[in-house]
Structure 1
């Protein structure tokens, strides 16, 4: 189930990478919205099948993460619950991705950007809403910095079977490091924008990944950064595909 999920993640990361490159190149019709990318995929021949496979893979990975959290066997109570929260937090993320992919595979055409704006506007208007949004942004920022550290320090080696061959080992570690660092930088940008939206009372700055892509695409220097991030997400897709075989799941 987990290995199927890594395949679905590879497709998702590839979509994000291609979307970022299209935005960096100012391609006509490119929209800074991953849900919009799902809608575009659903409209091409075979796209519904592809989204269905992504939904099944991500749902399988979410279920495996829930089970892995339940079966966490650390002898220390705090460490055991820390591991469970990490597993279950990831399970929620992959569950949301699976649900979104399934919706578009089944024909949903809702304008997700409008829905997100409405939700963020309601949150900002609610008592204590800006504080909640700021804490959410800070959390995402911390997670992003943590991913950059995991990639830079190669700590992700604990989660894979590193190939014995020197050339293959180097290739896997470089691809993995790039993938973690790029995803971490992306999350850090998202976190800063979400927190900034809380202080500026601007829900458009709190659009998550879509807001980050849009913000970078609005500036010439930002588009260069966006192109580099897009290439990095494609590398991350390659790493996720490699994990189908080399992931350490025991």
Structure 2
């Protein structure tokens, strides 16, 4: 019976690989996925640059992904860029769904593989709302909505009002923090390299691409750890106002001793993450592409 289950799992995996290859052979799939990575990079570049401006006292603001979209919406040419970003975010959503459903990366049906594929679906849902916000801004219908802090505090309060709400908030916080730790570990061990075709670059160029990508993934991971920690604090104190979004995490860094330096480092890391997204857009390996 065990052998039969093993064969069944193997058959399902091969079937998923075939479906994934079929999806990726669609003429629009890979270009949309690449545009999606690039669009995500643009969003993080805006967040990082605005935070750098705050750190160096030249204006700017700490903001989150929706705030970055609102910044892009300012000006007629900016709206044209925002429209491209919105389409790119749709491409990113589609790619995440393909990753989760068809498993083109071969994550498998084991516990770890299913967990990663589940994360892809969560990522698809998050970026769906972000894409909708972008399209609303392009059409002049608003869409930036509340700040990251306000949004985090709002859904934290709603979740706390449910049975075992504090425990649920704590679990969400631990999951987000755990995801941040995993990203930091992935960056430290350079596990992202196997997804990239860097052999077309000169060795020195490839090494710099890896270094910047490593810094970017590490910075984003540490920000996730902070956001998760704030949620755990909110759960332990039964105070939703302790919850923070990306903008709040950056503001907290700025408020610390030597906060200007901490904010500048974090902001530079987010810009580096944007560069990593651009590298992934150009050099990512796709099954059958």
Residue of structure 2 in register with 1:61 after alignment:
92
Which residue of the other structure, out of 112, 123, 140, is the alignment partner of 2:146? 112
**Structure 1, unaligned runs of 5 or more:** none
How many residues align? The count is: 250
Residue from 138, 151, 176 that aligns with 2:187: 151
Greater C-alpha radius of gyration: 2
RMSD across aligned C-alpha pairs, in angstroms?
A: 2.4
Match of 1:223 among 252, 260, 270: 260
C-alpha displacement of 1:34: 3.7
TM-aligned CA deviation for residue 244 of structure 1: 1.9
Distance 1:249 1:111, change over 3 A: same
Once the two structures are superposed, residues 68-89 of structure 1 have per-residue CA deviations (whole angstroms, 9 ceiling, x without a partner) of 3222265953265344324323
Rounded to whole Å, the distance in 2 between the matches of 1:126 and 1:154 is: 40
Structure 1: 4+ residue segments shifted above 4 A? 26-29, 73-76
**Secondary structure of the corresponding residue to residue 30 of structure 1:** coil
Give the equivalent residue in structure 1 for 2:127.
Answer: 94
* Deviation sequence 1:151-198 (CA, Å, 0-9, x none): 110110111112353212211211111111111111111111121122
Sort the Cα spacing of 1:75 and 1:34 in 2 relative to 1 into closer, same or farther, 3 A: closer
Contact 2:50 2:60 in 1 (8 A): no
> What residue is the counterpart of 2:165 in the other structure?
129
Q: Say whether 1:14 aligns with 2:45.
A: yes
Q: Provide the secondary structure at the position in 2 that maps to 1:112.
A: coil
Judged with a 3 Å threshold, the aligned counterparts in structure 2 of structure 1 residues 55 and 126 are, in CA distance, closer, same or farther, namely same
Matches within 5 A, 1:13-32: 13-25=44-56, 28=59, 30-32=61-63
Contact map agreement 2:51 2:264 (CA 8 A) in 1 = yes
Pick which of 33-42 and 130-139 moved more: 33-42
TM-score (norm 2): 0.77
CA–CA distance in structure 2, aligned partners of residues 13 and 32 of structure 1: 10
